[in-house]
Each structure stands twice: as C-alpha cells, then as structure tokens.
Amino acid sequence: MPTCIDMAPTPEYINYIRFSPVWQMRRIQALDRAGWVCETLGCGGIEGLEVQHIAYDRLGSEQPEDMVVVCRDCREEAFDRILENRPSWVDRMDSAMG
C-alpha cells in the first residue's frame, strides 16, 4: 500500500472512496466534526466541501486526524497551507473530546 500522498491513486483507493460504505460513514463523521465548514484556518467556507486525506497510512481504518475537511477554494490551494493550518482543528477536537 503506497503511503505517499504525491502518488497517483491506486485502483484500490478509488474503489474505496467511491464505493465503500465505511468511507461514506467516516466522511460524514469528519464533516460533522468540522461542523460542515471548511477547516482551513480563517476560511469557514461551506461550498463544495470535501474530506481529504492527510495521511494514507491507515487507509480503510482512518483516524480522525488522518482527514481534513476543505472547501472547493481551499482544495485548490497548496496542500502545504492546509497542513499548516491543521492545529486549529486538532485543538478543537481535543477540547470537544474533553
């Protein structure tokens, strides 16, 4: 299983994203966690939200921190910026979990 995010998606990955009910569930959970807004710091956009993998190591058994919710605009931004902004939601998640 490739773990590098720069690699082209494998057929397994595409199948997983398209057809797996498990992924659909995780996707909704990620969106719920984000409150259905973009998680990029200072954005708060709600258009064209997508759940994007930050890490692929646990593909199929993702942890919340492996994913980030981004809006259409932010998805087009450099991925680096999304990663840079990640602490904002990590903090939020920690406090939500108490």
- Residue 74 contacts Zn ion per CB under 5 A: yes
Pick one of 49, 59, 68, 71: the residue that binds Zn ion (CB under 5 A): 71
Nearer to Zn ion, 59 or 69 (CB): 69
Query: Among candidates 67, 57, 82, 74, which has minimal Cα distance to 31?
Result: 67
Are the CB atoms for 1 and 54 separated by under 8 Å? no
Site residues for Zn ion, 35-64, by CB under 5 A, read: 38, 40, 43, 45
Are the CB atoms for 65 and 40 separated by under 8 Å? no
Binding site for Zn ion (CB under 5 A): 38, 40, 43, 45, 71, 74
